[in-house]
Structure 1
Amino acid sequence: MTVTIWSTNTSSLNTTMLQLSDEGNLILQASQNRILWQSFDQPENTFIQGMHMAINTRTGARQLYTCWRRADDPTPGNFSLGLDPSGSTQVFIWKDYTVKYWRSGEWNGASNFIGIPWVPLYSKGFNFVTDNDQKYYTFTAINDSLARFVLHWNGTFSSYMYTGSSHGWDGLWHQPVKQCEIYNACGPNGLCRNNGNLASCRCLDGYQPKSAHNWMTGNWSGGCVRQAPLQCQADKKQSEYKRLPGMKLLDHAVWTSDIGDSDACKSYCSSNCSCNAYAYVTTVGCMMWSGDLIDIYHFDNGGYDFYVKVPQGSNNQKTAIVTGTVSGFVVFLLVASIFLWKQFRFCSGPKATSNFCSSNKLGEGGFGRVYKGKLPGVEEIAVKRLSATSRQGIEELKNEVVLIAKLQHRNLVRLLGYPSNRGLLDWRKRFKIIEGIARGLLYLHRDSRLRVVHRDLKASNILLDNDMDPKISDFGMARIFGGDQNQHNTIHVVGTFGYMAPEYAMEGIFSVKSDVYSFGILLLEIITGKKNSSFHNKEDSLNIVGYAYKKWQEGNTGNLIDPTIREPCCLPQVLRCLHVALLCVQDLAQDQPEIPSVISMILTESTNLTVPRQPTFTVQGYSCDNCASKRNAEMISECGVTITSLQGR
């Protein structure tokens, strides 16, 4: 029996020819060059030179580009890209084919989309064509170079160029990467500004949050509503506007191309009671908006002037603006905490943490101290109290709060507690903790909508609930990756001394492998039952990595493994985890396994493990007595967290 796997869906003809064009188009044609079928008409996730991104204006049929389900699974995924069916020149990404996820902004008719920061790739690149019932974009690369645009599995649209000098594909831009680039991130009438990769939202002048409670907790989807309706002004001179520079112009614009300048555009909007805002772009014309204002985003660089109609006199009033940043909520909590502390200085009273009683202290880090507490009728909570001497502040705390709100996983913190005695942690419990941490990292690195690198994974940031289930906490240093980004470089190296991967500590290069290295250190600490810092200056000044490797290589693990877990039945699994830990802390990121492989190795005894290389670097550390004298290096947290020098052996 013959089974057809794939065919061109064309009938058999006497004279046909199959040809692969220089652009990569597979063409089936009959006599007189009549095309019967071509692969460019059935795109998947990649747009290249010679292809069309088209829509039929008569039938509404669209040529959609669809992402893969996962990076290694080419079956159709959840995101698709194509031209706006409502008739604008915008390109959209939809989630599940209907929910708007990202938009390019209008085509300016000359060189670029007004919703994407300009890059040289646009010059002589894209071209918008109207041909009878067809509208479509084409692309021609510059200087005979190769270019491609890829819609990735997570909804990120990326531009790449292949150049002979680099002998590889250089990423030119990726969107959406920052939270504000996601469609309507702050809801209707909410203005989005970037705070790193995260969003900071506020209502436009004359507007207030639709739900004050949701807004203050970081749920901005409901957006904002007018504080008072605009009165229709018969005299256009009475209309007033708030100018917002550097903007990505909004969705649902109404074009009026016969208006010649910005002043005429303003007058036209003023005389129209339904017009709430306007903008004028030379190559596009007068753009006006009525009803709710959707997808308002302030660019970091570039952008256009946008004018919002406001009630008369509001530009001269010192009105209070309700902001939707997490920092507003945090400041409120901090002020309330200080007030409570001044009112109740003793460990008594009905408050959640017994007024920050020292007996409720869980630990402390870069922000300050963390206290155990309990709210009426709910489970235990952790309260992080910002120290006046902290080198970290609102930005890091805001980053953490927003990430925790958006990341939901059984092995990520909501917060619980911690055991007070390591004797309570037999090997079964420790292995459960190891597996839970690994699965939490798997979610951050691969399974969550946001691809997150924690950057400060350490024992004090792993909290345990009453069932000893681990919860990864403290996302103040975490960073979001977009598209197929694999690594990032920074001059602002943050994290904890002793847990940093060599390439991050010395060169500022971090990736998901940075967390793998930190996880390896955690594994060694769990196996030895000792802190990483306790191995400083021990046996030729080796750190925990060098010490563990030496004992493993010698076959002398008796002094390495915590005596409380040296049970014969558990020893093979303990030694396997030790082997995996040494693979995680290899000097080079390319030699370290990724988290899916780590989980497979610790759970599957049949998996063959490679032999780890001897570590090259040792960390020259300082005791806590010397911490105060080492403040010239960048301080990340309290004692034991200063970034100091790394020296090769």
Structure 2
Amino acid sequence: MGRRREFFVKVGFLSFFLFNLFPFAYRSVIYNITATKPLSPEQTLNSPRQLFELGFFTPNNNSHNQYVGIWFKEVVPKTVIWVANREKPVANSTSSLTIGSDGNLRLVDGQQNTIWSTNVSGQSNGSIVVLSDEGKLVLNSITGEKIWDSSQHPTDSLLPGSWLVYNGTSGERLTVTSWKSDHDPSVGDFTVGVPPQTPPQAFVWKGSKPHWRSGQWDKSTFIGIPEMEADYQSGVILVEDIQPGSIYLTVNILRNCSYSMLMISPTGVLRFICWVEARGWYAKWEAPVAPCEVYGACRPFGVCDRYEANLTCRCLKGFVPKSDEEWSKGNWTGGCLRRAELTCRGNTSSINTQGGKPDRFLKIGGLKLPDLSEFLKVSDEIECHQRCLNNCSCSGYAYVNGIGCLVWTGNLLDMHELPDGGKDLNLALHT
């Protein structure tokens, strides 16, 4: 009996010690938030199947700054997928998440000052908040109508059931933006989105400038990400023209993965990651992971090897460095120039006047195709070839399964060699 009492005393002391060292280690669970039932820092809001939970967290254990976020309940270490007050942390333990008199979900501090709000107009205080098993925080009206959800206000992650959106009809734009650092969820430098173009591409921007590009969508994969082709499932679903000029992109859960998601890191690396209980999180693919993959690394008509640790550019055949001096010093910013200017290939009199042979096409295999392509609706590759041949401004063309005819005019930018899974570029040259 004495030993048993001693055991319970030790367990009680340990529980007291852990609770005081980690004040949120023992939290009570709730399944909705109402005007009369707010969420305190000692509680978490759970999804029905307890796949996700929402609560207060501190990304840096040395900081007093607290945020309200959503994370996977059973995944260790904690993986936060959404943050409410990413620009306005709270610094006291008397904050709460509650329904205000206007029916909005509000994060308030100890003095009841609003730190963050769903900010939907025309609601009533009968609203109720729940967390779905898709990881979405949902604000419902008193009649059960959904009036706000967190997937319409994403942070740095995209999960199945949530979408990156460009809608030219409604003006809706949904992107994900990186944290500022691993310990600071405020808005960082990098944004992921799918701008309107045919065929679609995904971009990572640093500020307003492209940082990385996925390559063109071929109805199942982005052709600039060879790892997508290596898997039975690419993990990405892209839907065009639900409304004119609209693009929607989401992810799905891959086989053998408990969870999958797309996440942009504070350093601008986009990762499609998978969680398996025995392995934890791992990347099915990620980019850019080498200097060669950064947008336009070798400038016009320059290429590099994607898998080289250090950036080394070279010019395409028929081109020379704009500045030999700069290139000898590893400065690739000037790019490459044509060794011989093109004649107008469809104009025989121009060839006869200038002398020499007509222009031709050189097939270059294994490339991430350039940016700024134009899509042409043609019947086959022969017609694609002819359309480029007849255009004095055409720099090259490609005919890609799942896409069709792509042509380029002017400079060819943002190419690199992909030994596995690259495409053929037919480059216009004068010889």
Shorter-chain TM range is 0.5 to 0.7
Separation (CA, whole Å) in 1 of partners of 2:130 and 2:385? 55
State the 1:242 CA deviation: 1.4
The yes-or-no answer on 1:103 pairing with 2:213 is yes
Identify the residue that residue 270 of structure 2 maps to in structure 1.
157
1:194–1:200 Cα contact (<8 Å) kept = no
- 2:299 pairs with 178, 183, 187, which one? 187
- 1:135 pairs with 241, 247, 257, which one? 247
2:201–2:213 Cα contact (<8 Å) kept = yes
State the 1:32 CA deviation: 5.9
Separation (CA, whole Å) in 2 of partners of 1:32 and 1:197? 58
Higher strand share: 2
Identify the residue that residue 360 of structure 2 maps to in structure 1.
240
Separation (CA, whole Å) in 2 of partners of 1:307 and 1:33? 57
- Secondary structure at 2:117 match in 1: coil
% identity of equivalent residues: 35
Identify the residue that residue 307 of structure 1 maps to in structure 2.
426
Residues 197-239 of structure 1 deviation map (CA, whole Å, 9 limit, x = unaligned) = 2222111222222222212211112211223321102269944
Residues 470-515 of structure 1 deviation map (CA, whole Å, 9 limit, x = unaligned) = xxxxxxxxxxxxxxxxxxxxxxxxxxxxxxxxxxxxxxxxxxxxxx
Aligned AA for 1:310?
Answer: L
Identify the residue that residue 67 of structure 2 maps to in structure 1.
none
Separation (CA, whole Å) in 1 of partners of 2:232 and 2:327? 38
Equivalences for residues 159-308 of structure 1 within 5 A: 159-166=272-279, 168-194=280-306, 196-234=308-346, 238-260=358-380, 262-308=381-427
- Alignment CA distance shift 1:269-1:136 (3 Å): same
Identify the residue that residue 176 of structure 2 maps to in structure 1.
65
State the 1:257 CA deviation: 3.0
Separation (CA, whole Å) in 2 of partners of 1:299 and 1:124? 18
2:322–2:334 Cα contact (<8 Å) kept = yes
CA RMSD of aligned residues (A): 2.2
Separation (CA, whole Å) in 1 of partners of 2:295 and 2:138? 37
Identify the residue that residue 114 of structure 1 maps to in structure 2.
223
Query: Which structure 2 residue ranges, 5 or more long, are not aligned?
Result: 1-110, 349-356
Query: Which structure 1 residue ranges, 5 or more long, are not aligned?
Result: 315-649
Residues 537-557 of structure 1 deviation map (CA, whole Å, 9 limit, x = unaligned) = xxxxxxxxxxxxxxxxxxxxx
1:112–1:118 Cα contact (<8 Å) kept = no
Separation (CA, whole Å) in 2 of partners of 1:14 and 1:20? 18
- Secondary structure at 1:269 match in 2: helix
Aligned AA for 2:221?
Answer: N
Aligned AA for 1:6?
Answer: W
Identify the residue that residue 5 of structure 1 maps to in structure 2.
115
Separation (CA, whole Å) in 1 of partners of 2:383 and 2:191? 38
State the 1:246 CA deviation: 0.6
Identify the residue that residue 8 of structure 2 maps to in structure 1.
none
Higher helix share: 1
Separation (CA, whole Å) in 2 of partners of 1:128 and 1:122? 16
Aligned AA for 1:114?
Answer: I
Separation (CA, whole Å) in 2 of partners of 1:158 and 1:86? 23
Residues 85-140 of structure 1 deviation map (CA, whole Å, 9 limit, x = unaligned) = 456511101111x111100111111x211111133667173222232153211222
Aligned AA for 2:218?
Answer: N
Aligned AA for 1:25?
Answer: K
Bigger Rg, which one = 1
Identify the residue that residue 28 of structure 1 maps to in structure 2.
139
Separation (CA, whole Å) in 1 of partners of 2:411 and 2:272? 32
Aligned AA for 2:225?
Answer: I
Residues 403-422 of structure 1 deviation map (CA, whole Å, 9 limit, x = unaligned) = xxxxxxxxxxxxxxxxxxxx
Separation (CA, whole Å) in 1 of partners of 2:321 and 2:336? 4
- 1:49 pairs with 142, 160, 181, which one? 160
Aligned AA for 1:16?
Answer: S
Aligned AA for 2:226?
Answer: P
- Secondary structure at 2:361 match in 1: strand
- Alignment CA distance shift 1:87-1:64 (3 Å): farther
- Alignment CA distance shift 1:256-1:10 (3 Å): same
- Secondary structure at 2:268 match in 1: coil
Separation (CA, whole Å) in 1 of partners of 2:379 and 2:181? 47
- Secondary structure at 2:312 match in 1: strand
Separation (CA, whole Å) in 2 of partners of 1:228 and 1:258? 30
Separation (CA, whole Å) in 2 of partners of 1:6 and 1:193? 46
Residues 433-472 of structure 1 deviation map (CA, whole Å, 9 limit, x = unaligned) = xxxxxxxxxxxxxxxxxxxxxxxxxxxxxxxxxxxxxxxx
- Secondary structure at 1:114 match in 2: coil
2:312–2:330 Cα contact (<8 Å) kept = no
Identify the residue that residue 146 of structure 1 maps to in structure 2.
259
- Alignment CA distance shift 1:182-1:263 (3 Å): same
1:62–1:83 Cα contact (<8 Å) kept = no
Moved more, 148-157 or 203-212: 203-212
Equivalences for residues 451-466 of structure 1 within 5 A: none
- Secondary structure at 1:154 match in 2: coil
- Alignment CA distance shift 1:264-1:31 (3 Å): farther
Separation (CA, whole Å) in 1 of partners of 2:170 and 2:338? 38
TM-score calculated relative to the size of structure 2: 0.67
1:189–1:292 Cα contact (<8 Å) kept = yes
Separation (CA, whole Å) in 1 of partners of 2:181 and 2:377? 43
Equivalences for residues 458-477 of structure 1 within 5 A: none
State the 1:79 CA deviation: 1.0
Identify the residue that residue 79 of structure 1 maps to in structure 2.
190
- Count of aligned pairs: 308
Separation (CA, whole Å) in 2 of partners of 1:139 and 1:62? 17
2:342–2:359 Cα contact (<8 Å) kept = no
TM-score calculated relative to the size of structure 1: 0.45
User: Relative contact order, CA 8 A, sep 6+: which one is greater?
Assistant: 2
- Alignment CA distance shift 1:33-1:206 (3 Å): farther
State the 1:35 CA deviation: 2.3
Separation (CA, whole Å) in 1 of partners of 2:344 and 2:112? 73
1:54–1:137 Cα contact (<8 Å) kept = yes
Separation (CA, whole Å) in 2 of partners of 1:138 and 1:122? 17
